[in-house]
Amino acid sequence: MPAVRQDISLVPLTERFLRLGSDKKPAYTIPTIKEYFVDLEYVLGVISDGPTKSLAYRRLRYLASKFDMYYLLNEYKEVSDMKVNISRP
């Protein structure tokens, strides 16, 4: 891997995006490129872990079936509420 400058940040932001207040401190700090890659490596390590992936997949299936059940039980109420509030934003 080529050497990476550690003093540069990921995205050059203007004052408008930093939302500078009266004290001229940024609303948040921008990580360096090294911090970004360290965090990325950690996230990719968690994602590639087999048991974690299985647990996340089962949890997503459970939540999807729970939403489907909600939709089936409340379909008529949802449709009637949408018809009452025709000018919803």
How many domains are there within the chain?
2
Which residues of the chain, if any, have pLDDT below 70? 1-24, 26-27, 85-89
Nearest alpha-carbon partner for 35 in 67, 66, 4:
4
| pTM (2 d.p.) | 0.47
85/74 same-domain check: yes
Q: Which residues contact 87 (CB under 8 A, 6 or more apart)?
A: none
Range of the domain at 61: 51-89
Please give the pLDDT value at position 17.
57
If asked whether residues 33 and 67 sit together in one domain, one would say no
* 3 in the same domain as 19: yes
